[in-house]
Amino acid sequence: MKDTNITFKYIITAFLAVLGTWIIHEFAHWATAELLGYNSRMSLNSTNYIKGQNVTDWHRQLVSAAGPIITIIQVVIVFLLLKKNWSKSLYLLLFVGFYMRLLASIMNVVNPTSPNDEGRVSEYFGIGLYTIPIIVSAFLFYLVFKISKQYQIPKKFQLATYLIVTVFIAILILSDQYFKIRIL
């Protein structure tokens, strides 16, 4: 029988999954910018170029794509591990990666004049603001759906996971906006 109990340990693990996924995602943006020769700053929820640099359009797209690519890789690896054995902790990493990219896609709808990662790349390739975000979100949703179906994960557990993760994502984003927490 699979464990789907919501425990204090699960809640702490959810916090760590959100924080870890966000940091790895932003680190991928930061590291790509640095490897391309640009000085940049990384916070909990953003990576920015230090002013005065002449960033090429192609490099800007590579940096934009780096975060989602690493998040997609995370979700695919976790999906493959979960296909073999159930783990609540791994499920959190799967779910957080999907939810993170879904929220970014939604923000492209809310604020289309300032697109997020996949939206910027999608526009760059001339396929519209929403094409790549929809493809990425649908693919990651499919992976979450497949695992949920394979293990017959109860809706109550999924709803609780959604609510817990939503609270931690909100805390992370608001903390970054309010305290301007610089990591690199």
From start to end of 7-140, where are the E strands?
40-42, 47-49
Predicted confidence (pLDDT) at residue 105 exceeds the cutoff of 80: yes
The DSSP 8-state label assigned to residue 37 in this structure reads T
- State the pLDDT at residue 1: 56
**Percentage, residues of the chain above pLDDT 70:** 99
Predicted confidence (pLDDT) at residue 9 exceeds the cutoff of 70: yes
Which of 58-62, 69-73, 95-99, 177-181 has the weakest average pLDDT? 177-181
pTM over 0.85: yes
Q: Which of 10, 56, 2, 1 is nearest to 33 (CA)?
A: 56
pLDDT, tens digit (0-9, with 9 covering 90-100), for 172-182: 999 999 998 89
- State the pLDDT at residue 158: 97
Whether the Cβ atoms of residue 70 and residue 24 lie closer than 8 Å to each other: yes
For 29, residues 6+ apart whose C-beta sits below 8 A from its C-beta are 40, 42, 47, 63, 64, 66, 67, 117
* Degrees to nearest 5, angle at CA 174 with 142 and 5: 50
End-to-end CA distance of the chain: 43
- State the pLDDT at residue 181: 87
pLDDT, tens digit (0-9, with 9 covering 90-100), for 83-96: 999 999 999 999 99
CA distance 95 to 77: 13
Pair type for strands 47-49 and 40-42: antiparallel
DSSP lists the bridge partners of residue 77 as none
- State the pLDDT at residue 2: 85
- State the pLDDT at residue 50: 95
* Mean pLDDT in residue range 132-137: 98
Query: Around Cβ 77, how many Cβ atoms within 10 Å?
Result: 14
pLDDT, tens digit (0-9, with 9 covering 90-100), for 13-25: 999 999 999 999 9
Helices (H) and strands (E) in the chain, counts: 6, 2
Q: How confident is the model at residue 124 (pLDDT cuts 50, 70, 90)?
A: very high
